[in-house]
Amino acid sequence: MAGRGTSEGRYLFEFDGVTAIRATEVSGLKKTHEEFELYESNRPNPHIGRGHFKVEAVKVKHGHALNSTGQEVFKWMDDFVRGFSVERRGGRLIVLDEDGLTPIAVYEMTLCVPISFEPETHSAGGKNASFFDFSIRPEDLFLL
């Protein structure tokens, strides 16, 4: 039943130009702000104002590599680091309700740069879909 909150393992990740990715763990959705301080005359405490901000790297674990999704992410990263295509892509993380279908939060990420890609262990006896981990660094992050 929808509307009862979320639990781990219910994430849908989308990139421009890449098939949607289901993942079980996402971390690093963090935006930090470094304020500035301005001391005035003999005032004992500073005026505090808007300074700089940065968005941390977003790490996605256990992405489901169904069809060619893993290859699409790896190709984007490989082309980027080799300088063949240095386009930055937009992405969004959709947090799903416990039913796995109903979106309850959407994080929009702009001008993402790929940082890492790692296929998980390949096992001859495995019966599950292939999984992979990857990291990106967005220039900005919004909660829609």
CA dihedral 62, 72, 31, 104 (to 10 degrees): -60
Return d(Cα 120, Cα 19) in angstroms, integer.
19
Identity (one letter) of the amino acid at 7? S
Q: Where are the alpha helices (DSSP H) in the chain?
A: 69-82
Backbone angles phi, psi at 72, to 5 degrees: -65, -45
Reported as a single tens digit per residue, the pLDDT across 41-97 is 999 999 999 999 999 999 998 887 667 778 888 899 999 999 999 999 999 999 988
CA dihedral 1, 30, 112, 95 (to 10 degrees): 0
Backbone angles phi, psi at 130, to 5 degrees: -70, 145
Reported as a single tens digit per residue, the pLDDT across 10-27 is 888 888 878 788 888 899
**CATH class given for the domain over 11-143:** mainly beta
The pLDDT of residue 1 is 45
Kindly list the domain boundaries of the chain, sorted by start residue. Answer: 11-143
- Which helix H or strand E contains 130, and what residues bound it? none
Return d(Cα 127, Cα 78) in angstroms, integer.
28
